[in-house]
A and B are shown apart, each in its own frame.
Chain A
Amino acid sequence: DAEITQSPRHKITETGRQVTLACHQTWNHNNMFWYRQDLGHGLRLIHYSYGVQDTNKGEVSDGYSVSRSNTEDLPLTLESAASSQTSVYFCASSGAGTGELFFGEGSRLTVL
C-alpha cells in the first residue's frame, strides 16, 4: 500500500545544531507539505512543494528550509535549531488538483 513516512519519529537536539527531518511518500504525489503543530495553534504551514525543484514558503518558514530533488522526498532542515522550534512536525502529500491530503505519523522534535 502507498504511504507517507517520516523519520525520525522522536529527536532531541541542542540549540544551534542542524537538524533534518525526512519525509518519504510512495503515492507519487506532486504536492508535499510540512506543518508544525503546537498547542493552541493548530496546524501551521512551514514550506510546501508542487513538484520537483519547486519549493514555497508557508506562514512560519523562518529558520527552516526544504529541497525537492525527486517526487518522493521533501526533507525539512532546521539550519540552527532554536528552543522555539520544539514542536511536532507533520509531513503531508496530495495529488494534483483537488486531491486528498494524507499525513505522515509526525516527528516530535525537542530542542534543549
Chain B
Amino acid sequence: GENVEQHPSTLSVQEGDSAVIKCTYSDSASNYFPWYKQELGKRPQLIIDIRSNVGEKKDQRIAVTLNKTAKHFSLHITETQPEDSAVYFCAAHPTGNQFYFGTGTSLTVIP
C-alpha cells in the first residue's frame, strides 16, 4: 500500500517568515494530494489540494507543489501569521482507494 512520510514533525517560524512542509509518497497510482489544517480541538479542514496533472497551485499565501517523478509534494506558507499556528497533515489518494496521511507537522508562528 501507499506510504506517506512528512517532515518536519515540528516547525517554528517568526511571524512574516515562510514555512515549508514536505511529504513523500510511494505509490505512483496516487493522483490526488490534499493538505489539511487542524487547529487545537478542531477537525482537520482542507486548505489546499493538488491533482497529479498539475505541478503547482496557489491560493493567496499558501501554495502546493508536486513532483511526480520524485514522488514528493510540499506546502508553502508565505508571510506567516499567528493564526497559521496549527497541525498540518498531507495525504495521498489513489483513485477509488483510501486516503493515506502523513504524521503531521506542528507549526508555531512566533509573534
A residues apposed to B, CB below 8 Å? 33, 41-43, 45, 48, 50, 58, 90, 92, 94, 97-98, 100-106
Contacts and interface: CB of A to CB of B under 8 A. Distances in A.
14 contacts: A33-B98, A42-B101, A42-B102, A43-B104, A48-B98, A90-B44, A92-B99, A98-B31, A100-B34, A101-B91, A101-B93, A101-B99, A104-B43, A106-B43
* B interface residue count range (under 10 / 10 to 19 / 20 to 34 / 35 or more): 20 to 34
Contact of B98 (A58, A90, A103, A104): A58
Interface stretch (B45-53, B58-66, B75-83): B45-53
Interface of B is mostly: strand
B89 interface: yes
Contacts of A98: 31-32, 51, 93, 95
Contacts of A94: 99
